């Protein structure tokens, strides 16, 4: 019972038909049968990523050489080839690293820019960027590997990069040599 002495249970409530006695229910035969068409899902994120890559490829160019094949490497134009050899042989100590596993392309790019800017402010020369091997991605292909390489080549302060040694991430990471900051 509520504060007014009325019952509040279901048995105490009037039925729907008692509340609306003048209403006539529709006959089932008068209902339209609508077919639900299944629409194919639109891979919106992939389309946005592909458009961003296309925009990037049209707006920027790298001034250097990149070696093709399975192993990524890049050397800025005008630097001696020994620089890349030294980078591969761990001549410089890796001073910091960034792990981009599981991020979308826009998230990865923003984080990479922030990371590189921070490295330059701190005067770091050699860092590792882990982009992943793509083992959990569609078709088991590394989604970020070539994007990271492209983004790095567009930045003037990147002198060189190469695939990390097997003990440092192998084909799932690159070691990056940054320009020395004049103080």
Q: In this predicted model, what pLDDT tens digit does every residue of 125-168 receive, in sequence order? A: 999 999 887 666 666 667 788 889 999 999 999 999 999 898 88
How far is the C-alpha of 77 from the C-alpha of 118, rounded, in Å? 24
- pLDDT for res 50: 67
Class of domain 44-178: alpha beta
How far is the C-alpha of 157 from the C-alpha of 125, rounded, in Å? 10
* Bridge partners, residue 67, by sequence: 73
How far is the C-alpha of 146 from the C-alpha of 105, rounded, in Å? 11
Task: Give me the DSSP letters along 54-71.
Answer: HHHHHH---SEEEE-SSS
Q: Per residue in 87-135, pLDDT tens?
A: 999 899 999 999 998 888 899 999 999 999 999 999 999 999 998 876 6
Helix boundaries (H) for 63-104: 81-88
- pLDDT for res 118: 93
How far is the C-alpha of 75 from the C-alpha of 95, rounded, in Å? 20
- pLDDT for res 6: 52
Q: Per residue in 39-61, pLDDT tens?
A: 888 777 777 766 665 565 545 55
- pLDDT for res 75: 92
- pTM of structure: 0.62
Copy the structure tokens of residue 40: 């194919």
Domain borders along the chain are 44-178
- pLDDT for res 96: 95
* Bridge partners, residue 73, by sequence: 67, 162
- Inform me whether the pLDDT recorded for 171 exceeds 90: no
Residue 36 in contact with residue 24, Cβ under 8 Å?
Answer: no
- pLDDT for res 136: 62
Q: Per residue in 6-44, pLDDT tens?
A: 555 566 777 877 888 888 776 677 667 778 888 888 777
What distance separates the 2 farthest-apart alpha carbons in the chain? Answer: 95
Q: Per residue in 70-92, pLDDT tens?
A: 678 899 989 998 999 999 998 99
E-strand ranges in the chain read 64-67, 73-76, 96-99, 126-130, 158-163, 173-178
Cβ neighbours, 10 Å, residue 91: 12
């Amino acid at each position: 019972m509520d504060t007014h002495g009325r019952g509040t249970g279901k048995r105490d409530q009037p039925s729907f038909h008692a509340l609306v006695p003048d209403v006539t229910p529709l006959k089932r035969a008068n209902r339209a049968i609508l077919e639900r068409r299944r629409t194919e899902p639109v891979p919106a994120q992939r389309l946005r990523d592909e458009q961003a890559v296309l925009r990037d490829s049209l707006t920027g160019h790298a001034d250097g050489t990149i070696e093709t094949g399975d192993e990524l490497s890049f050397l800025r134009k005008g630097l001696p080839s020994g620089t890349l050899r030294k980078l591969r042989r761990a001549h410089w100590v890796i001073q910091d690293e960034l792990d981009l596993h599981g991020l979308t392309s826009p998230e990865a790019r923003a984080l990479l820019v922030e990371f590189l800017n921070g490295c330059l402010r701190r005067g770091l020369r050699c860092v590792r960027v882990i982009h992943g091997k793509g083992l959990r991605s569609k078709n088991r292909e590394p989604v970020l590997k070539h994007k990271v390489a492209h983004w790095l080549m567009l930045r003037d302060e990147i002198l060189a990069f190469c695939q990390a040694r097997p003990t440092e991430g192998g084909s799932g990471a690159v070691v990056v040599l940054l320009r020395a900051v004049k103080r």
